[in-house]
Amino acid sequence: MTAVDSHASVTGQTPVGATLRDVIAAYVGLTKPRVIELLLLTTVPVMFFAAQGVPSLGLVVATVLGGTLSAGSANALNCVYDRDIDEQMRRTRRRALPRHIVSPRAAFVFGIVLAIVSTLVLGLWVNWLSAGLALAASAFYLFVYTMVLKRRTTQNIVWGGLAGCFPALIGWTAVTNGLAWAPVVLFLVVFFWTPPHTWALAMRYRDDYAAVDVPMLPVLRSGEAVARQIVAYSWVMVAVSLALWPIAGTGVFYPIAAVVLGATFLVEAHLMWARSRTSDDLSVIKPMRLFHWSNLYLSLLFVAVALDPLLSR
């Protein structure tokens, strides 16, 4: 860190040399756009499913805008709380706060403003049930996962991941202004998907987590033990995904897609487990292969959720 950067971190001023473009990019980065993209992929398809067709464009736009602002708020406040460990980890040290482009105070105000605006957008333009669910998800992510679970237990991402499941509920309530079993099933799909997805990434960066004493499962368990857990969660995830068929009375397209996607996911999980039994070397285990597939799996599964009512007419 340069002397200028060190001074900026104390005073909260933008470091000399940072352009307006740098500052704007830093604020956008605080919201973690890639995470938001994944959350929206579990919101919009559920809206199609709830509407049993194409929902109102205005409703979709309002829900996406409110959901983006809500998730961005939670992510920004998470960056404020975790700035000490973010500065030490390779994966996160290029974020805005570790680089001192944005001060912690400014990032905190930014997060709070996003939370207020997102609640008003969802409440006034969608409905207050959706607004309440979004606010609850953000509060859970910040107060339960970030402040309590993340640095204390290997089960941090299992229960902390509940926050990332709420978009499935919000997509449904945005259209129906009520809850039902179908979005609960999709909520549970995301819940059981989160550990395999996150543990695969954590295996890749386990040295980073170990250096900052964050007890992610791959830090405290062998690659084989983590892979075995991933396989177990993957089987439950696929089983839950298939439950949507009888519970929601889908057409035949969804269960076919769920079987094909689920079988492929299970093959990848079992292959990673098999590799981990021969070596604990990450170049052998290849956890990022499962991580990238997990993103594709969830995206395609929810696309199938959106397409099923359109193809079943």
Q: 20-178 — its CATH code?
A: 1.10.357.140
Residue 14 confidence (pLDDT) above 80: no
pLDDT of residue 13: 52
Q: How large a percentage of the chain has pLDDT more than 70? A: 94
pLDDT of residue 17: 59
Question: What's the rounded Cα separation, in Å, for the pair 14 and 31?
Answer: 18
Report residue 64's pLDDT band, with 50, 70 and 90 as the boundaries.
very high
Domain borders along the chain are 20-178, 180-313
pLDDT of residue 37: 87
Structure tokens at 294: 């997990």
Residue 147 confidence (pLDDT) above 90: yes
pLDDT of residue 20: 85
3-state SS track over the chain: CCHHHHHHHHHCCCCCCCCHHHHHHHHHHHCCHHHHHHHHCCCHHHHHHHHCCCCCHHHHHHHHHHHHHHHHHHHHHHHHHCHHHHCCCCCCCCCCCCCCCCCHHHHHHHHHHHHHHHHHHHHHHCCHHHHHHHHHHHHHHHHHHHHHHCCCCCCHHHHHHHHHHHHHHHHHHHHHCCCCHHHHHHHHHHHHHHHHHHHHHHHHCHHHHHHCCCCCHHHHCCHHHHHHHHHHHHHHHHHHHHHHHHHHCCCCHHHHHHHHHHHHHHHHHHHHHHHHCCCCCHHHHCHHHHHHHHHHHHHHHHHHHHHHHHHCC
Q: Across all residues in the chain, what is the average pLDDT?
A: 92
pLDDT of residue 2: 37
Residue 10 confidence (pLDDT) above 70: no
Report residue 5's pLDDT band, with 50, 70 and 90 as the boundaries.
very low
pLDDT of residue 35: 87
Residue 133 confidence (pLDDT) above 80: yes
Q: Does this model's pTM top 0.85?
A: yes
Residue 11 confidence (pLDDT) above 80: no
Q: Picking from 16-20, 275-279, 287-291, which range would have the lowest pLDDT averaged per residue?
A: 16-20
pLDDT of residue 15: 55
Mean pLDDT of 16-37: 86
Instruction: Categorise residue 70: left if φ over 0, alpha if ψ from -120 to 50, beta otherwise.
Output: alpha
Within its chain, how far is the Cα of 184 from the centroid?
A: 17
Residue 199 confidence (pLDDT) above 70: yes
Q: Picking from 87-96, 108-117, 232-241, which range would have the lowest pLDDT averaged per residue?
A: 87-96
Q: 180-313 — its CATH code?
A: 1.20.120
Residue 3 confidence (pLDDT) above 70: no
Residue 194 confidence (pLDDT) above 90: yes
Mean pLDDT of 77-99: 91
Structure tokens at 56: 């109102």
Mean pLDDT of 233-260: 97
